[in-house]
Chains A and B, each alone.
Chain A
Amino acid sequence: MTNVFRYILLLFLLTSVGTTTLRAEEAERAEEAEEEETLDMMSFIFGHTGDGYCFHLTEVKGEPVCVWLPVIVHSKETGWHVFSSKHVCELKEGETYQGFYIASMNDDRYPGKLLEVCPSGEVKRPFDLSFTRNAFGIFLVCGFMLAFFIPAARKYKKDPMATPTKYQGLVEWLTYMVLDGIISPSIPKSKVPKFAPYLLTVFFFIFFCNLFGLIPFFPFGTNVTGNLSITLVLALCTYVAVNVLGNRHYWKDILWPDVPLFLKFPIPLMPIIELVSTLTKPFALMIRLFANILAGHIVIMVLMALIFVIGGMYGAGMGTATSVISIFMMVFMTALECLVAYIQAYVFTMLSSIFIGMAQEEGES
Chain B
Amino acid sequence: MIWMLIGFLLVLLILAKVGWPMIMEAVTKRNQHISDSLMAAKEANEALAGIEAAKEKALAESQAEQIRIMNESQELKKQLIEEAKAQALAEAEKVMADAQLKIQKEQDEARAQIKAEVISLSVDIAEKLLQRELSNKDAQSRYIEEILKNNHPQIEA
Which of A39-47, A149-157, A316-324, A355-363 is the interface stretch? A149-157
Are B23's CB and A175's CB within 8 A?
Answer: yes
Contact (A135, B20) CB under 8 Å given A145-B11, A146-B14, A200-B15: no
Contact (A179, B24) CB under 8 Å given A198-B12, A234-B8: yes
Are B25's CB and A233's CB within 8 A?
Answer: no
Are A138's CB and B8's CB within 8 A?
Answer: yes
Are B11's CB and A201's CB within 8 A?
Answer: yes
Tally A residues with Cβ within 8 Å of B.
Answer: 38
Contact (A156, B20) CB under 8 Å given A145-B11, A205-B8, A229-B1: no
Q: Does B155 contact A (CB under 8 A)?
A: no
In the bound complex, CA of A132 to CA of B7 (Å): 13
Tally B residues with Cβ within 8 Å of A.
Answer: 26
Interface of chain B: mostly helix, strand, loop or mixed: helix
In the bound complex, CA of A107 to CA of B84 (Å): 136
Chain B residue with Cβ nearest A194: B16
Q: Does B33 contact A (CB under 8 A)?
A: yes
Q: Does A193 contact B (CB under 8 A)?
A: yes
Interface of chain A: mostly helix, strand, loop or mixed: helix
Contact (A197, B30) CB under 8 Å given A233-B5, A234-B8: no
Are B8's CB and A233's CB within 8 A?
Answer: yes
In the bound complex, CA of A141 to CA of B10 (Å): 12
Q: Which of B1, B14, B18 has the most CB of A within 10 A?
A: B1
Which residues of A lie under 8 Å from residue B4 when comparing CB positions? 134-135, 138, 229-230, 233
Nearest-Cβ distance from residue B132 to partner chain A, whole angstroms: 144
Are A139's CB and B3's CB within 8 A?
Answer: yes
Are B23's CB and A161's CB within 8 A?
Answer: no
In the bound complex, CA of A232 to CA of B8 (Å): 12
Complex interface bits, B30-46 against A, C-beta within 8 A gives 1, otherwise 0: 10010000000000000
Complex interface bits, A106-143 against B, C-beta within 8 A gives 1, otherwise 0: 00000000000000000000000101101100110110
Contact (A146, B15) CB under 8 Å given A134-B4, A196-B20: yes
Q: Does A172 contact B (CB under 8 A)?
A: yes
Which residues of B lie under 8 Å from residue A175 when comparing CB positions? 20, 23-24, 27
Which residues of B lie under 8 Å from residue A141 when comparing CB positions? 7
Contact (A134, B16) CB under 8 Å given A175-B24, A237-B8: no
Find residues 212-233 in chain A having any chain B CB closer than 8 Å to their own CB.
229-230, 232-233
B interface residues (Cβ-Cβ under 8 A, vs A):
1-5, 7-8, 10-12, 14-16, 18-27, 29-30, 33
7 contacts between A and B (CB under 8 A): A129-B3, A135-B3, A139-B7, A153-B20, A201-B8, A205-B11, A237-B8
Closest 5 CB pairs of A and B: A156-B26, A135-B3, A197-B16, A160-B26, A229-B1
